[in-house]
């Protein structure tokens, strides 16, 4: 169990993930700065794909060298079964569409799990040099430059005074389960709603008290693996939209909050699901 791990080993895992995330973030910044110079050579999608893959390859190489017996799952197709129950989840570029359009909202996300239990979570925003990190049982932190401060969710008690965020699935143009019904329901109840385009950062913003809640459907494990621990260690709640515990399967949905508004968010999601089913 995670509780049986030596504290120094856990801290080593965290420092490793932080180092890998910062390296990958520097690589993404290089590509972000070069985009305007090379856009005429190839499409934005091709350019982004190159940096997506390069970022993942960098992180995978670091993990393979340091922890060869650990499993890993990466957005760009990296897969390896572990030998000891540990799995790294890697999103080398969360916010790909933003990156392609030069919209400044993207991150690197790296997490370590033991079975279904999150041990380490790191989300790094290289543009702002903001690093969100969490170690199981040790709290969550935001590091910016030399400043490191603990994260704590807000105390908002009702949706009417809450700022929420969400995202739309990759098949939103063709699927009826595209979050439009849910958005309509929350717009009528919350103080405000934002859509920034990086699931990992949205969740970390809940942990940091910049948002009060977040929900999204059709996420992948690597989208939320790291941010989940950051939220939970900051005092937030992280469940499926029906309130069930999160399970680390490839595709999932999430309802994330400061805990105080969670029941109200779940009720809105249930109402929207019922409405969608009746349409």
Q: Which pLDDT score is estimated for 19?
A: 99
Q: How many domains does the chain have?
A: 2
> Do β-strands 163-166 and 107-114 pair in parallel, antiparallel, or remain unpaired?
unpaired
d(CA 21, CA 41): 28
Q: Are 226 and 74 in contact (CB under 8 A)?
A: no
Q: Are 239 and 245 in contact (CB under 8 A)?
A: yes
The answer on 139 and 11 residing in a single domain is yes
Q: Which pLDDT score is estimated for 87?
A: 97
The answer on 97 and 172 residing in a single domain is no
- Quote the tokens at residue 226: 């790291």
The DSSP string of 39-71 is TTTS-HHHHHHHHHHHHHHHHHHHHHHH-TTSE
Of 84, 115, 150, which residue constitutes the final position of a domain?
150
- Quote the tokens at residue 211: 């948002």
The answer on 146 and 190 residing in a single domain is no
d(CA 6, CA 262): 34
Q: Which pLDDT score is estimated for 80?
A: 85
Residue with tokens 């000891």: 84
The answer on 114 and 40 residing in a single domain is yes
Q: Report the DSSP beta bridge partners of residue 118.
A: 113
Q: What CATH number is given to the structural domain containing 201?
A: 3.40.190.80
Of 121, 150, 179, which residue constitutes the final position of a domain?
150
Q: Which pLDDT score is estimated for 54?
A: 94
The answer on 96 and 182 residing in a single domain is no
pLDDT tens sequence for the chain (279 residues): 454 578 999 999 999 999 999 999 999 999 988 765 444 445 555 567 789 999 999 999 999 999 999 999 998 777 888 889 999 999 999 998 899 889 999 999 999 999 999 999 999 999 999 999 999 999 999 999 999 999 999 999 999 999 999 999 776 677 767 798 999 999 999 999 999 999 999 999 999 999 999 999 999 999 999 999 999 999 999 999 999 999 988 789 999 999 999 999 999 999 999 887 765
The answer on 172 and 94 residing in a single domain is no
d(CA 159, CA 44): 38
Q: Which pLDDT score is estimated for 40?
A: 40
Q: Are 234 and 274 in contact (CB under 8 A)?
A: no
The answer on 106 and 26 residing in a single domain is yes
Q: Are 47 and 38 in contact (CB under 8 A)?
A: yes
d(CA 47, CA 56): 15
Domain extent at residue 72: 2-150
The answer on 180 and 82 residing in a single domain is no
Sign of the CA dihedral 243, 245, 246, 247? negative
Of 150, 174, 200, which residue constitutes the final position of a domain?
150
Q: What CATH number is given to the structural domain containing 118?
A: 3.30.540.10
User: What's this model's pTM, rounded to 2 decimal places?
Assistant: 0.93
The answer on 13 and 85 residing in a single domain is yes
């Amino acid at each position: 169990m995670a509780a049986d791990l030596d504290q120094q080993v856990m801290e080593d895992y965290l420092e490793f993930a932080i180092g890998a995330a910062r390296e990958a973030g520097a690589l993404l910044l290089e590509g972000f700065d070069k985009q305007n110079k090379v856009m005429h050579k190839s499409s934005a999608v091709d350019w982004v794909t190159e940096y997506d893959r390069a970022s993942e390859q960098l992180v995978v190489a670091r993990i393979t060298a340091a922890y060869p017996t650990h499993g890993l799952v990466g957005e760009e197709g990296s897969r390896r079964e572990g030998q000891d129950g540990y799995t790294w989840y890697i999103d080398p570029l969360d916010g790909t569409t933003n990156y392609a359009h030069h919209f400044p909202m993207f991150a690197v996300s790296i997490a370590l799990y033991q079975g279904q239990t999150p041990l380490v979570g790191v989300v790094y925003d290289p543009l702002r040099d903001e690093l969100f990190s969490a170690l199981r049982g040790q709290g969550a932190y935001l590091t910016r430059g030399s400043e490191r401060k603990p994260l704590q969710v807000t105390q908002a008690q009702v949706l009417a005074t809450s700022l929420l965020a969400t995202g739309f699935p990759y098949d939103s143009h063709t699927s009826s389960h595209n979050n439009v019904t849910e958005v309509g329901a929350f717009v009528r109840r919350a103080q405000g709603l934002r859509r920034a385009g990086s699931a990992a950062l949205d969740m970390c913003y809940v942990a940091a008290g910049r948002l009060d809640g977040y929900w999204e459907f059709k996420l992948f494990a690597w989208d939320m693996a790291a941010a989940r621990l950051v939220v939970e260690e900051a005092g937030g709640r992280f469940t499926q939209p029906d309130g069930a515990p999160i399970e680390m399967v490839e595709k999932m949905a999430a309802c994330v909050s400061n805990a105080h508004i969670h029941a109200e968010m779940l009720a809105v999601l249930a109402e929207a699901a019922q409405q969608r089913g009746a349409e």
